Amino acid sequence: MGSTGGSTRSAPDAAGRVARPERTRREADGYAQEAAALRTGLVREIVAGGGLTDPAWRTAFEEVPRHLFVPYYYETGAPGEAGTAVAAAGTAAGAASTAAGAPGTAAASTGAGAAGIAAGAPGTAAAGAPGGGAAGAGEAGEAGEAGAVRGTVGYTRLWRDDPHPLRRARWLAGAYADAPLATRVRDGELITSSSQPSLMARMLHALQVRDGDRVLEIGAGTGYNAALLAHRLGDAHVTTLDLDPEITEAARNHLAAAGFRPAVVTGDGARGCPLHAPYDRIIATCAVASIPFAWLGQCRPDALILTPLATGLIALRVADARHAEGRFLAIPAYFVPLRGSGPPPQVPTHGLPSRPLLDDSFRFLLNVAAGHMEPVEALALWEHEGRPGRERYGVTVRGDRQWAWLDDPEGAYGWPLGPPGRLQPFPYR
């Protein structure tokens, strides 16, 4: 149940928190000076795109070293060929190669069951997770050149300790590209990622944290996002959760290398983490088909939950353990599903002309209403309502029911959340 109990809010000791990681990195990180210059370029690019308007988040992105969280990662493409994101990054010395939400960018993945932020459209290249896990960190240095580490067909690895200077430079430049990075691939399938920094910045801004807030992150990934949160709020206020013990171990090691020690927990993301509840904010980096009720029960009243749902990001304000409501952000975001939650519902397109399918706002409606509305009916609604964008949609959780809606939670258009066949009685069409 939600509670107003818990520790008293207090601002973290920012000076002490920042000094310790900086000292650790200068002693142990041979890339620190070059990385700092690349990081400055990345922050400048995100700011130019309208992000990092909050000085506290800008400072976090300026000071948290992303390359420590991705000691290796994978490019898509044939061995020896630069993947699109990192090739551009190498050319631009760390400048972003892709724009958040632009078609053709890499789709990120995974986490607490499957943390992953995608920064592109469906069908784009995937990017993934914690660098420094068991799979690949100790592999032969020639793997990136000669091709696939076992189970990574279709991917080429770049890594920090490659014996070739040009490939090491490409690795470092890619670590500071504004692109998601595939960092864990298993049997040819993307498992986890380091997400696109500009999209991470937008999500963290939308989380609306305050000094002293306690935050639960569903999806540890590489640990980079948890580090940003810990920089902003202090280690004691951040918990990050993932289903895979290899992922949490790697994230814990990355965080320690960067001088951060938030709580890193192995567990089912759908169940949350009652051990450190209640939370003021919950942020997920994996897509859900419906809002896990356990999340609401672990929130304080007036908490905020930010989670991917139906190729969008829903920001829910929590009233209590059984009630929450909010609207989608305007930006598109494609995420890997929460692992263990089953595959996402199929999105039917039969009977539709090709032109509407090219429109992102229509594809969003198809995802929201998947399994509950015929495609031709969805097209008629979309055209009648003026081709609404994501920001006109919302989600309501009320007792045992939850639904997505257009314009008004009590209006004419609503769709139950969750896979078909598991529906509660629902009053709207």
Locate tokens 């990136």: which residue?
144
Q: Which two tokens stand for residue 152?
A: 């990574």
Q: What does DSSP assign to residue 37?
A: H
Q: Which two tokens stand for residue 170?
A: 């490409």
- Cβ atoms < 10 Å from Cβ of 91: 12
Q: What does DSSP assign to residue 52?
A: -
H-helix segments, 240-332: 245-257, 293-297
- Closest by CA to 287, choosing from 310, 318, 271, is 310
Q: Which of 109, 194, 195, 290 is catalytic?
A: 195
SS percent in the chain: helix, strand, coil, step 5: 35, 20, 45
Locate tokens 């097209």: which residue?
379
Known catalytic residue at 354: no
User: Residue 31, SS3?
Assistant: coil
The C-alpha atoms of residue 57 and residue 208 are separated, in whole angstroms, by 11
- What residues pair up with 35 in beta bridges, in sequence order? none
The C-alpha atoms of residue 250 and residue 272 are separated, in whole angstroms, by 20
- Closest by CA to 241, choosing from 262, 224, 261, 216, is 216
Position 164, amino acid? H
Distances (CA, A) of 125 to 77, 139, 181, 190, 247: 10, 24, 10, 10, 21
The C-alpha atoms of residue 345 and residue 342 are separated, in whole angstroms, by 9
Give the catalytic positions in this structure.
195
